[in-house]
Structure 1
Amino acid sequence: MKFVLEVDMGETAFDGEAAGELGRILRYWGGNLRHYDLKPGDGSAIYDSAYSEVGRWSIVAAPGS
């Protein structure tokens, strides 16, 4: 299996606050991790601090499996 996390930071990398915003996104995601089985097909949208969708995470089957 593979864990895939993709976040679009926009043209300005979250207005110069990329480290803080990405840290918040990862803390929020990590806090909700227990709600998922973490099997292929699981995933969810990722939101920034303004509640705008900025990406997605997913669990996918590894190539060749």
Structure 2
Amino acid sequence: MKFLLEVDMGDKAFDGDAVGELGRILRYWGGNLHHYDLKPGAGSVVYDSNYHEVGQWSVITTAESWAAGGES
């Protein structure tokens, strides 16, 4: 299985603070990791510091990764 995190930083990469914003997203998600059952099918929306939807995370099987054109 694979854990996937996809974040759209927008055309301006979070208005020039991509490092700060991505760090905040990763700290928030990592701090709440214990709330999630990390098995295939799990996933949720990812929000930036302004509570705008900017991506998603998901847990998929290797077969799903191949079907989507990904690598294993």
Deviation, structure 1 residue 23: 0.1
Deviation, structure 1 residue 16: 0.4
* Matching of residue 3 in structure 1 with residue 3 in structure 2: yes
Which aligned pairs between 1:1-65 and structure 2 lie closer than 5 A? 1-63=1-63
Distance 1:51 1:37 in 2: 23
Number of residue pairs matched by the alignment: 64
- 5+ residue gaps, structure 2, are 67-72
| Percent of aligned pairs with the same amino acid | 72
Deviation, structure 1 residue 37: 1.3
SS at match of 2:54: strand
SS at match of 2:32: helix
**Relative CO higher for 1 or 2, CA cutoff 8 Å, sep ≥ 6?**
1
TM-score calculated relative to the size of structure 1: 0.95
